[in-house]
Amino acid sequence: MSSASVSSLPARPAPPERTPLKPLDAALSELLAFAAPPLPAESISTFEADGRVLAQDLLSALDVPADDNSSMDGYAVRCADWRSADALLPVSQRIAAGGSGKVLAPNTVARIFTGAPMPPGADAVVMQEDCEAVDGGVLIRVQPRPGQWIRRRGEDVSAGAVVLRSGERLSPAGLGLAASIGFARLQVARQVRVALFSTGDELVMPGDVAPADMKRGAIYNSNRFFLKALLQRLGCTVTDLGIVPDRLEETVRALQGASQHHDLILTSGGVSVGEEDHIKPAVQALGSLKLWQLAIKPGKPFAYGTIGAAHFIGLPGNPVSSFVTFLLLVRPFVLRLQGASEVAPQSIALPAHFDWPKADKRREFLRVRQNAKGGLDLFPSQSSGVLTSAAWGSGLVDNPPGQAIAHGDAVRFLPFSALLS
């Protein structure tokens, strides 16, 4: 619906019958399907494209390097001219990077520098550390081998080759590669426009109230800070809409306004089934809810829907639940919105240096830290409210439903280094 007045809002429905929780892999598959088609492309400077997703294949119009060139400072030689370490060969020319040489005369050498094109006739470079300059000539102290210290034409990139493909997320190395074949500008997916807000009457912003003056039951809003930072790391433009009170009318107004000019609305809190959780009925009043509650721990209260043309994702209010579900679901969704082809990090098999005897029926994501022995230590408290575990940890153990862990067992480790970039 395009608008909703407070008076027209539906009454809160009776609690529905309990439905099975959706497995994470099935939910992620559905979520990624909802992200099609990707956002339109825009042209930006290659200097500004770090982390953006390519919307074009990059084809090279030239060979890189463009000529055979020296990979060392030294002397270009004909291997056949070398007789002994005591034979003096005259230096017939000097070739610097950016210059060009003449045909190398027999029984002479060319002084050459790193990156300089090889003179015709030369078939090797001898590094200057293996040479001794004497009276206008040089003693080659080691026998040269054909091809040594030469970078061949097209060794890095061949003309006509696809160097980077559409859907790749650009890294600093990728930017250098694009520049090496002459791309000053790149076609990349437009940045995702995200509206962010938290719900909860208990939330207080740091700086608004001193710790000593906090009312009983009040908490500082931590989710807003790490969610905004995570979105910005993914290249999103974020509109921070602050804290929305625990009232249905206020929630509807916030969602309705956010849907007008954003690609994604991201909220934290209010997605459970309590009487003060208003996200679900508000989304249903304005649009449709397509995913609801997952079989994971932490992170069960997760929601996806649409409001007009905007996507909506509701995260749990508990900070660790919100953090983990962002990494597992929001991150790949945002990347897919940008057309990224690879959105899920690969897990690493590492030994658990802890015991986890009480397996849960849900798939668990345990906060751990890699230790100096190559194993994983477990944070003492795995409560969904203990954000210390995420700040302390270096990643998550992806533990299957019903799986106990004994010290020494190989577990699936998802490093934060891959999930936070």
Is residue 110's pLDDT more than 60? yes
pLDDT in tens, 244-273: 988 899 999 999 999 999 999 999 987 765
Confidence (pLDDT) at 6: 47
The pTM assigned to this predicted structure is: 0.86
Per-residue confidence band for 3, with pLDDT thresholds at 50, 70 and 90: very low
The secondary structure element, H or E, covering residue 233 is helix 223-233
Domains and CATH numbers, the chain: 19-40+191-337 (3.40.980.10), 41-63+156-189 (3.90.105.10), 69-151 (2.170.190.11), 348-419 (2.40.340.10)
Confidence (pLDDT) at 13: 55
pLDDT in tens, 302-324: 999 999 999 999 999 999 999 99
Handedness of CA 10, 16, 19, 21 (dihedral sign): positive
What is the chain's mean pLDDT, rounded?
93
Q: Give the gyration radius of the chain's Cα atoms.
A: 30
Tell me what the mean pLDDT of segment 194-222 comes to: 92
Instruction: Please name which of 56, 66, 289, 44 lies closest in space to residue 191, comparing C-alpha atoms.
Output: 44
Weakest mean pLDDT among 14-18, 164-168, 417-421:
14-18
225's CB contacts (< 8 A; 6+ apart) are none
197's CB contacts (< 8 A; 6+ apart) are 224, 240, 241, 242, 243, 244, 254, 258, 267
Confidence (pLDDT) at 200: 84
